[in-house]
Structure 1
Amino acid sequence: MRRVHPSTFFFMSVLLAVLVAAGFVGQHYRVFERTWFNLSQLWQPAHPDGINLGEYRAVLQGLAIDGLEDNVSALTFDPLRKSLFTVTNKKTELVELSLDGRIVRRIPLVGFGDAEAIEFIGENTYVITDEYQQRLINVTIDDSTRVLNAANAEQLALGINPLGNKGFEGLAYDSVGKRLFVAKERDPMLIYEVRGFPHDNPQQPYATHVVTNPRRDARLFVRDLSSLQFDERSGHLLALSDESKLLLELDINGRPISTLTLKKGRHGLEKSVPQAEGVAMDDEGTVYVVSEPNLFYVFKKP
C-alpha cells in the first residue's frame, strides 16, 4: 500500500480547511445567493411593475445633517407634510427633516427606551419602536407637539425572540392592507407582519395578529436588516441592510427583484455609505437614506 507523503497530507489538510472556511464565510455573508442573483439579472428583464432600484443614481450624497451629532436610526416620509422624520438613539429625540436634509424641528422623546425606527401611519400618526423591549408605540404629532411621552401613548409589546439590541430595527406600513411590517435585525433575521395595531376603530374589539413569512425571509441574501419601506404603488417592500451595504426590493411574493448597492463606484456614489440605518421613499419615487451618525443621501432615477 502506497504511503501518503507527509507534505502531501499537510497540503491536502490545509486545502480542506481553506475550502471549509471559504464555504462558511460564503454562507455567513450570503455570497453564493447574492452572486447568483447578480448573474440572473444579466438575462432577466426589468420587472414591469417594479421600482427597479438598479436604475437609481445618487443626486445628493454624504451630506452631514447640520446641527445633528447623535446617531440617526430610522427614516420615514410624511406625504402630508412633505418632510422626513428620523429618531436618534443616544440623546433620544424625534427629528423632522426637509427633503434636502435640513433640520425642521426636534422633539424630545421620554420613556421610549432604545428608539430605533419610526413609521408614518396616517395624518399626525406615527409608530416608534423600542428595540430593547420590543415595543411598538403609537404617537400623535402635530404642529403644536413639543415633547412626546411614551406613558401617554398606545403600546404593544411583542417580546418575540428577545435578544438585547438585536431586536426591532425597521418599520414599514401598508395603508391598504393595514399591515405594519416590523424588521428584526438578526439572530434570527425576520420580518413580522402586524395587523390590528394601531387600533384605529374603537367600535371594534382590540385584536392583534402577528404573522411571519419564512419563505420570504429565507430569500433575503443580506446579513442584517436595518430599515424597511413599503411602496404603495407596486406593493413591493424595500429592505435595507447596513452590514451588506445593500437596499433590496422584494415583489409581492417576497422574491428579490432588484438591488441598490451602497458601495463606492455604484449608482454614482463617490464613497461607500458607512452605516446605513434608515430608508424612505416619497410619493414621486425618490429614495432617501440616512447613515450613522448623521449623513444624508438622495437617490433618483435619471
Structure 2
Amino acid sequence: MKLTIQNLSKTYKNGVKAIDNLSLEIGTGMFGLLGPNGAGKSSLMRTIATLQSPDSGSITFGDINVLDDNMALRKVLGYLPQSFGVYPKMSAEELLDYFATLKGVSSKLDREKLVKEVLEITNLYEVRKKHVAGYSGGMKQRFGIAQLLLNNPKLIIVDEPTAGLDPAERHRFLNILREVGTNCTVIFSTHIVDDVKELCNEMVIINGGRILKHTTPITCVQEVKDQIWTKVIERDELELMEANFNILSSNYNQDNTLNIRVHSLEKPAEDFKEAQPQLDDVYFIALKEDEANLVSE
C-alpha cells in the first residue's frame, strides 16, 4: 500500500508554519524522515497519524482517505510517538493484554497468543512480568513497538525512537524495527543520520516543513563523490576557515586540533585531502543550501 501526501500545510496559532505545502509518496519498506529538531517532522507524523488536522492538502493510504476517515486509518496504523507514556503498576504482559482488548481482540486465548508473539518479537518475553515503569529506555521503546504490533499494522510511524538510547539498546531497537518493517510501510522520523543510513532504503531531508531532498542513502552519497575535502587545523583557525570555505562539520582530534570537512566542486587549497563522502555530508549540504536560499529571499 502507498501513502500519498499532496499539498499538505499546517500553521499553528503562534504563526509557526510547521508543514509548508508538502507533497510526498511513500511505498512499502523503511522510509527515513531526516531533519533537525523543529524541522516539522513530528507535526507531519501527528498529521498522518490523525492526531491533528492540516489547514489544507490531502493524505491517502491505499484506498483510505485519511482526513475523511480517521478510523479506517487507525485500524491499520501503528504509532510510536516521541514520548510514550505507560501505566506504572502494570506488567508488560498485563498492559499489552489491556491494549489488545482496546484494539478489539475479545477472545482471551487470542489475546494471550498475540501478546506472547509481540513480546517474543521485541525480545521482552523474559521480562514480561516486570512493571514497564521499571524498564530501561530501550526496553520501553521496544515495548512501544510491541503495543503497535497488536493490530498487525500496515502503516507504522515511529518518531525519534532512538534518541537517548545507549548503543546496545539502539542496535537492538533498529534490528527489531528492520524485521517488522519488511512487509509494511514504516516511516522513521529522526535527526540522527546514522539511523537512516543503517535502516532506510529511501529518505527525505526536511526542514521548515519543506522537503529539501528526496533520495536514497546510497544515491545521495554518490552524488557528492569527489566534492568532500578534509584538513586538520588549529582551534583558533576555525573562524578564518569558515570565512573562506564551505565547512560542513568539524570534529576534535585527541591533540585538540580540529578535523574539518569542506564541500567544494574542486580542491579548495593545496593542503586539503579528498575524503570519502558520507550521508552526514549530504545532510549538512542540504541544510546549508536551504539556509542560503532563505537568506537570499
TM-score greater than 0.5 by the shorter chain: no
Query: TM-score scaled by structure 1?
Result: 0.25
Structure with a larger share of its residues in strand: 1
Structure with a larger share of its residues in helix: 2
Query: TM-score scaled by structure 2?
Result: 0.26
